[in-house]
């Protein structure tokens, strides 16, 4: 499997990258982003550019890839809806549309979130925008899957890019075992998250639907074993 990965510098993207590099079923990974990764690996090719959606500038031939893992995103805190929509919806579709047109057999996995509003009528701005993004992706002619994680626990040395998130993870880490007992499917490790992405892109995997919630992600991530 050949993979394109967007958002590899974020916590979720780092977790996905780690599992892709460790899994023998993934032959190569092309990352596209604005910031260098600082990672070297025989499987890895990296493209750093101001506009991640410019696939031609990145030298990407969509037909050469089996999956795109789209982990690129920003927090809506302090943002106006127009700006958040431009980054969250417009940028995602600018990547997805040419990929779908050139390679309908590709699996496109998008990171959304618990609480996403598919109706577009809710009061939460981020949920409406994420919902529209999901809906538009699901209309494109490729295999699109929406991941709606809840709490993702970084493990195996996977860092969080944002300082605030690093502080929050440090403070809440002692509560994770309790959360696992009270709501076992709410918490997902970055390791299971990455494995689940690889699983849905792998032909023959039994997938419960196109929108995957925490329990689905945990099941797929937990069931997949590394091929190395």
CB 20 within 8 A of CB 198: yes
What are 165-174's contacts with CB under 8 Å, separation 24+? 165/11
pLDDT, average across residues 11-27: 94
H or E stretch covering 224: none
Q: How much is the pLDDT for 221?
A: 93
Q: Comparing C-alpha atoms, which of 62, 45, 44 is closest to residue 53?
A: 62
pLDDT, average across residues 11-15: 91
Lowest mean pLDDT among 70-79, 144-153, 155-164, 190-199: 155-164
Confidence band for 121, pLDDT divided at 50, 70 and 90:
confident
Q: How much is the pLDDT for 176?
A: 56
Q: How much is the pLDDT for 228?
A: 42
Q: 36 Cβ partners below 8 Å, 6+ apart? A: 46, 48
Using left for φ > 0, alpha for ψ between -120 and 50, and beta otherwise, residue 2 falls in beta
Q: How much is the pLDDT for 181?
A: 61
Q: Is the pLDDT of residue 171 over 70?
A: no
Q: Is the pLDDT of residue 175 over 60?
A: no
Confidence band for 108, pLDDT divided at 50, 70 and 90:
very high
Query: 26-55 pLDDT, tens per residue?
Result: 999 999 999 999 899 999 999 999 999 999
Lowest mean pLDDT among 120-124, 132-136, 195-199: 120-124
Q: How much is the pLDDT for 187?
A: 77
Domains and CATH numbers, the chain: 2-223 (3.40.50.720)
Q: 187 Cβ partners below 8 Å, 6+ apart? A: 150, 151, 152, 153, 176, 179, 180, 214
Confidence band for 73, pLDDT divided at 50, 70 and 90:
confident
Please tell me which residue, 73 or 29, carries the higher pLDDT value: 29
pLDDT, average across residues 141-155: 89
Please tell me which residue, 47 or 77, carries the higher pLDDT value: 47
């Amino acid at each position: 499997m050949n993979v394109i990965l967007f958002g590899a510098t974020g916590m979720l993207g780092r977790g996905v990258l780690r599992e892709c590099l460790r899994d023998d079923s993934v032959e190569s990974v092309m990352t596209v982003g604005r910031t260098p990764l600082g990672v070297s690996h025989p499987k890895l090719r990296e493209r750093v550019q101001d506009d991640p959606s410019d696939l031609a500038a990145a030298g990407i031939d969509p037909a050469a890839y089996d999956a795109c893992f789209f982990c690129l995103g920003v927090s809506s805190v302090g943002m106006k809806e127009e700006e958040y929509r431009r980054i969250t919806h417009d940028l995602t579709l600018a990547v997805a549309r040419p990929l779908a047109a050139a390679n309908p057999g590709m699996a496109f996995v998008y990171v959304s979130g618990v609480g996403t509003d598919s109706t577009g009528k809710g009061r939460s701005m981020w949920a409406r925008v994420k919902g529209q993004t999901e809906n538009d992706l699901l209309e494109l002619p490729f295999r699109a899957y929406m991941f709606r994680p809840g709490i993702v626990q970084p493990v195996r040395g996977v860092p969080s890019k944002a300082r605030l998130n690093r502080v929050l993870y440090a403070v809440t880490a002692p509560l994770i075992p309790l959360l696992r007992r009270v709501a076992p499917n709410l918490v997902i490790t970055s390791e299971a998250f990455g494995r689940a992405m690889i699983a849905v892109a792998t032909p023959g995997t039994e997938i419960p639907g196109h929108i995957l919630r925490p329990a689905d992600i945990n099941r797929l991530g937990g069931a997949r074993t590394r091929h190395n």
